[in-house]
Amino acid sequence: MAPLLRKADSGDLETVLSLENACFTDPWTPGMFKSALEGGSFEELYLLEDEGKCVGYVCIYIFDDEGEVMSVCVHPGKRRLGYGKMLVDRALALMKERGVKDVFLEVRKSNSSALALYCGAGFTLIGERKKYYRHPTEDALVMKKSLKE
Ligand SMILES: CC(C)(COP(=O)(O)OP(=O)(O)OC[C@H]1O[C@@H](n2cnc3c(N)ncnc32)[C@H](O)[C@@H]1OP(=O)(O)O)[C@@H](O)C(=O)NCCC(=O)NCCS
């Protein structure tokens, strides 16, 4: 069966936190996931499940015709299998369906795997934010993809 993308809810908090802590040096706290998991906010979190197991997630933000890929991650034991690309492609398709015209994201300057993933999905560099990240401190690259025909 093809991997399934499903919207996460508050019952998924533990799964999401365990993935988050395995993937990032500066993980989001439970509070930061609260609005995305409880609904009713602009943030939405989707889990990618393969054979019933969560292999990754993507968190997006939609406001009017602008979207943002806030975070994407794949379980360390499941990388280079195409799940990251699947998460980004499905998130973009979902945003397009919802009328989003431009999608933005920020990524650590040194994160070559994520940069390759985003460039492959059609994002281009539009700017930098100095010392944007902590643990460790690092600049962010700002990228954009247009979903207009
Ligand atoms: C970035 C990340 C999501 C990629 O997930 P993944 O499932 O391994 O990616 P995929 O297998 O779908 O790869 C898609 C493309 O991404 C690029 N890529 C992924 N991992 C890469 C690596 N280690 N080195 C170079 N390019 C890489 C490649 O272009 C790849 O295409 P290809 O396989 O045709 O060469 C994953 O490495 C991850 O979770 N990293 C930690 C969290 C993170 O940094 N998230 C992004 C910042 S928000």
21 lines ligand 1 (CB under 6 A): no
**For the segment 36-61, what is each residue's pLDDT rounded down to a tens digit?**
898 878 999 999 999 999 999 999 99
For ligand 1, atom 25: residue with the closest CA: 113
Residue 113 main-chain phi, psi, to 5 deg: -70, -45
Residue 103 class from Cβ within 10 Å (0-12 exposed, 13-18 middle, 19+ buried)? buried
The Å distance, Cα 74 to ligand 1 centre, comes to: 8
Q: Which CATH number covers residue 42?
A: 3.40.630.30
Return the residue whose CA atom lies nearest to atom 40 of ligand 1: 73
Per-residue pLDDT at 122 exceeds 80: yes
Over residues 101-113, the mean pLDDT reads 97
Range of the domain at 142: 4-146
Query: What mean pLDDT value characterizes the chain?
Result: 95
Residue recorded with tokens 């985003």? 118
109 CB less than 6 Å from ligand 1?
no
Total structural domains within the chain: 1
